[in-house]
A and B are shown apart, each in its own frame.
Chain A
Amino acid sequence: MDEKEVEVKAPGPDSQAGPACPDDKPKENLIPVFIYGKRFFVPESFTIITAMEYVGFQFKKAIGCREGFCGACATIYRLEGDYKLRTGLACQTVVEPNMYLVQIPFTPAVKAIYDIAQLKPDISAIQRYYPEMFRCVACNTCTKACPQEIEVMDYIQEIKRGDLAKAADLSFDCIMCGLCAVRCPAEMVQYNIALLARRLTGRYLLPRSTHLEERLTELKKGKFDKTVEELMGLSPDELTKRYTERDLDFKVF
Chain B
Amino acid sequence: MSGYPEYMQASLEKVKATRPARLEKARKGREVVKTMTLAEREEVLSNFHPDYQPDARKPIRIGPNKGEEMTARVVDLLESYPSIDPDRFDLTRSDYDTDILIIGGGGGGCMAAIQVANAGLNSVLATKLRVGDSNSMMSQGGMQAAVNPHDSPAIHYLDAMGGGHFDNKPELVEALTMDGPMIAGYLEELGVMWDKDSEARLMTAAGGGTSRRRMLSCRDYTGAEIQRVLRDEVKNHPDKITIVEYSPAVELLLDDKGEAAGALLYNMETEEYIVVRARSVIMSTGGYGRLHIKGFATTNHYGATADGLVMAYHAGAKLLYMDSVQFHPTGAVYPEQILGFLITEKVRGLGGQPVNKEGELFVFPLEPRDVEAASFIRESTKRGLGIETPAGRVGVWLDSPLIDLLSGPGTIQTALPAMVRQFKRFGIDITEEPMLVYPTLHYQNGGIEINTDTETTLPGLYAAGEVSGGVHGRNRLMGNSVLDYNVFGYRAGHAAVQRAKALSGRKVKLSLDHVRAFRAELEDAGIPETSHAPILIPEYRNPEVLKKHRKNYDPFIGRFL
Binds A, one of B64-72, B175-183, B486-494, B505-513: B175-183
Binds A, one of B82-90, B254-262, B372-380, B415-423: B415-423
Which residues, 311 to 368 on B, are CB-close (under 8 Å) to A? 336-342
A-B contact pairs, 16 of them (CB 8 A): A10-B337, A13-B337, A14-B297, A64-B129, A64-B137, A64-B301, A67-B138, A68-B422, A69-B137, A199-B190, A209-B200, A228-B153, A236-B166, A246-B155, A248-B211, A250-B30
Indicate if the CB atoms of B138 and A57 lie closer than 8 Å.
no
Say yes or no for B302: interface residue by CB 8 A criterion.
yes
Say yes or no for A138: interface residue by CB 8 A criterion.
no
Indicate if the CB atoms of B421 and A216 lie closer than 8 Å.
no
Query: B337 contacts which of A16, A46, A212, A228 (Cβ < 8 Å)?
Result: A46
On chain B, the residues within 8 Å of A240 by CB distance are: 38, 162, 166
Report the minimum CB–CB distance from A32 to chain B (whole Å). Answer: 17
Given contacts A69-B224, A69-B418, contact A113 B238 (CB under 8 A): yes
Report the minimum CB–CB distance from A125 to chain B (whole Å). Answer: 12
Indicate if the CB atoms of A210 and B200 lie closer than 8 Å.
yes
Indicate if the CB atoms of B166 and A239 lie closer than 8 Å.
yes
Binds B, one of A76-84, A153-161, A171-179: A171-179
Indicate if the CB atoms of B161 and A239 lie closer than 8 Å.
yes
Q: Mark B521-561, 1 if CB is under 8 A from A, else 0.
A: 00000000000000001011111111000000000001000
Report the minimum CB–CB distance from B55 to chain A (whole Å). Answer: 17
Which residues, 255 to 280 on B, are CB-close (under 8 Å) to A? 268-269
- Report the bound CA distance from A249 to B225 in whole Å: 28
Given contacts A195-B232, A243-B158, contact A14 B339 (CB under 8 A): yes
On chain A, the residues within 8 Å of B177 by CB distance are: 228
Query: Nearest A residue to B391 by beta-carbon distance?
Result: A9
Query: Nearest B residue to A106 by beta-carbon distance?
Result: B130
On chain B, the residues within 8 Å of A228 by CB distance are: 153-154, 157, 174, 177-178
Which residues, 26 to 56 on B, are CB-close (under 8 Å) to A? 30, 37-38
Query: A20 contacts which of B295, B338, B390, B544 (Cβ < 8 Å)?
Result: B544
Interface size class on chain B is: 35 or more
Say yes or no for B401: interface residue by CB 8 A criterion.
no
Report the minimum CB–CB distance from A191 to chain B (whole Å). Answer: 9
Query: A64 contacts which of B133, B166, B202, B206 (Cβ < 8 Å)?
Result: B133
Report the minimum CB–CB distance from B77 to chain A (whole Å). Answer: 14
Binds A, one of B143-151, B449-457, B458-466, B477-485: B143-151
- Report the bound CA distance from A249 to B202 in whole Å: 17
Chain B interface residues toward A at CB < 8 A: 5, 30, 37-38, 129-130, 132-133, 135, 137-138, 140, 146-150, 152-155, 157-159, 161-162, 166, 170-171, 174, 177-178, 181-182, 184-185, 188-194, 196, 200-202, 204, 206, 211-213, 218-219, 221, 223-225, 228-229, 232-233, 235-236, 238, 246, 268-269, 292, 295, 297-299, 301-303, 336-342, 390-392, 417-418, 421-422, 425, 537, 539-546, 558
On chain A, the residues within 8 Å of B148 by CB distance are: 211, 253
Query: Nearest A residue to B292 by beta-carbon distance?
Result: A16
On chain A, the residues within 8 Å of B5 by CB distance are: 3
Which residues, 203 to 253 on A, are CB-close (under 8 Å) to B? 203, 206-212, 214-216, 219, 224, 227-228, 231-232, 236, 239-240, 242-244, 246-253
Report the minimum CB–CB distance from A114 to chain B (whole Å). Answer: 6
On chain B, the residues within 8 Å of A195 by CB distance are: 228-229, 232
- Report the bound CA distance from A251 to B174 in whole Å: 24
Report the minimum CB–CB distance from B237 to chain A (whole Å). Answer: 8
On chain B, the residues within 8 Å of A60 by CB distance are: 246, 268-269, 537
Q: Considering the complex of A and B, which 5 residue pairs feature the smallest CB-CB distances, nearest first?
A: A199-B191, A21-B544, A12-B339, A207-B200, A56-B545
- Report the bound CA distance from A95 to B417 in whole Å: 24
Indicate if the CB atoms of A45 and B138 lie closer than 8 Å.
no
Q: Mark A110-147, 1 if CB is under 8 A from B, else 0.
A: 01011111000000000000000000000000000000
Report the minimum CB–CB distance from B444 to chain A (whole Å). Answer: 16
Query: A15 contacts which of B137, B161, B339 (Cβ < 8 Å)?
Result: B339
Report the minimum CB–CB distance from A215 to chain B (whole Å). Answer: 5
Indicate if the CB atoms of B542 and A55 lie closer than 8 Å.
yes
On chain A, the residues within 8 Å of B213 by CB distance are: 250-252
- Report the bound CA distance from A116 to B237 in whole Å: 12
On chain A, the residues within 8 Å of B228 by CB distance are: 176, 195
Query: What count of chain A residues pass the 8 Å CB interface test?
Result: 92
Indicate if the CB atoms of A209 and B202 lie closer than 8 Å.
yes
Query: Nearest A residue to B425 by beta-carbon distance?
Result: A92
On chain A, the residues within 8 Å of B153 by CB distance are: 219, 224, 228
**Which residue of A54, A67, A116, A201 has the most chain B CB atoms within 10 A of its CB atom?**
A67
Say yes or no for A189: interface residue by CB 8 A criterion.
no
On chain A, the residues within 8 Å of B171 by CB distance are: 232
- Report the bound CA distance from A21 to B193 in whole Å: 48
Given contacts A173-B417, A201-B191, A250-B212, contact A14 B292 (CB under 8 A): yes
- Report the bound CA distance from A116 to B5 in whole Å: 51
On chain A, the residues within 8 Å of B132 by CB distance are: 70
On chain B, the residues within 8 Å of A64 by CB distance are: 129-130, 133, 137, 301-303
Say yes or no for A162: interface residue by CB 8 A criterion.
no
On chain B, the residues within 8 Å of A54 by CB distance are: 542
On chain A, the residues within 8 Å of B218 by CB distance are: 172
Query: B201 contacts which of A59, A210, A224 (Cβ < 8 Å)?
Result: A210
Given contacts A19-B542, A56-B546, contact A65 B138 (CB under 8 A): yes
Report the minimum CB–CB distance from A42 to chain B (whole Å). Answer: 10
